[in-house]
């Protein structure tokens, strides 16, 4: 069982003929991902890395029996690409694109709520089940198969913690970068539910950051609905109020909400061990296994 993707996942790459789309398609194929099609308006009939390209996602899904897509489309056109994907029976859409206007994502989020599709991102590194499949830009060489699920708003932090786990012999069941934008598809709570239901996941690492209240909502969910143990990390402890740090969603407006302290308190009150450093996170995970 896998939380999101496995070796049988059949992937369409939207924007496959662009520089990033082509490069990462080749990387995904090299990793073992089952990329079955590309979709780019007006480019139907071409091939990229041996993969057939179709004019529409709908035709790619129909012809190649695809069940997931990865979006490498420039921000000005990404919302249209997401609408197109959501109009098909795809189970999963992973939006890598950074810089999609918030207003555009508001409409996408509304459309998403009317479907059974899961959307990861935007502005995210994607999702990987080590040894089986990766959808996105995650560096596959640092991941190793195992029993620890990881969910994070920060791609760089994901890589740091995963690399440390792998070096210490702690493998991962699935790692998900949900993205750091104010409006995203899959939340911490959504991903935690997936890990709770995943028989291959025996512990979870949740990496949050300042801004918003998603981590506080996740803490409440952990306390009420999870048996799988969770280890946490919150980035941005020294960030000054009112100054955005990195992601568009990583800003603290004041009044206590969205601060590192409030998130750490909420997680600890939910029984989550919160590491002060990534190294402490890995040690806490080792103690659970």
In angstroms, the CA 174 to CA 225 distance is 20
Residue pair 142/162 in contact (Cβ under 8 Å)? The answer is yes
Please name the residues in contact with 246: beta carbons below 8 A apart, sequence gap of 6 or more. 154, 180, 209, 236
Per the structure block, which two tokens stand in for 125?
């590194």
Question: Parallel, antiparallel, or unpaired: how do β-strands 47-48 and 51-54 relate?
Answer: antiparallel
Residue listed under structure tokens 């179709």:
54
In angstroms, the CA 229 to CA 280 distance is 16
Q: Which of 10, 134, 194, 247 is catalytic?
A: 247
Question: In whole angstroms, how far apart are CA 177 and each of 96, 112, 122, 156?
Answer: 10, 18, 10, 10
Specify whether 247 is catalytic: yes
SS3 173: strand
SS3 content of the chain, % helix, strand, coil (to 5): 35, 20, 40
Per the structure block, which two tokens stand in for 143?
């991941």
Half-sphere exposure of 190 (CA within 13 A, CB side): 14
Burial class (CB in 10 A: 0-12, 13-18, 19+), 171: middle
By annotation, the residues acting in catalysis are 247
């Amino acid at each position: 069982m896998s939380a999101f993707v496995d070796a049988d996942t059949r992937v369409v790459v939207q924007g496959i003929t662009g520089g990033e789309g082509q490069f990462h398609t080749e990387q995904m194929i090299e990793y073992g991902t089952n990329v079955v099609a590309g979709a780019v308006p007006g480019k139907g009939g071409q091939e990229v890395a041996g993969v057939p390209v179709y004019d529409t996602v709908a035709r790619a899904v129909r012809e190649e029996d695809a069940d997931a897509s990865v979006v490498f489309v420039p921000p000005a056109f990404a919302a249209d690409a997401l609408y197109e994907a959501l109009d098909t029976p795809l189970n999963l859409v992973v939006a890598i694109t950074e810089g999609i206007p918030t207003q555009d994502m508001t409409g996408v989020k509304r459309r998403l709520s009317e479907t059974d599709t899961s959307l990861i991102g935007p502005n995210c590194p994607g999702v990987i089940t080590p040894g089986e499949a990766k959808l996105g830009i995650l560096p596959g060489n640092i991941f190793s198969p195992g029993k620890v699920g990881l969910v994070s708003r920060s791609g760089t932090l994901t890589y740091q913690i995963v690399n440390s786990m792998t070096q210490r012999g702690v493998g991962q069941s699935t790692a998900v970068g949900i993205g750091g934008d104010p409006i995203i598809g899959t939340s911490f709570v959504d991903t935690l539910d997936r890990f709770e239901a995943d028989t291959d996941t025996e512990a979870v690492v949740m990496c949050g950051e300042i801004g918003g209240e998603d981590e506080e909502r996740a803490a409440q969910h952990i306390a009420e609905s999870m048996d799988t143990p969770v280890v946490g990390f919150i980035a941005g402890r020294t960030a000054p109020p009112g100054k955005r740090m990195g992601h568009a969603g990583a800003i603290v407006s004041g009044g206590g909400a969205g601060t590192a302290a409030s998130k750490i308190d909420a997680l600890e009150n939910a029984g989550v061990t919160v590491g002060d450093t990534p190294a402490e996170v890995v040690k806490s995970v080792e103690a659970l296994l």
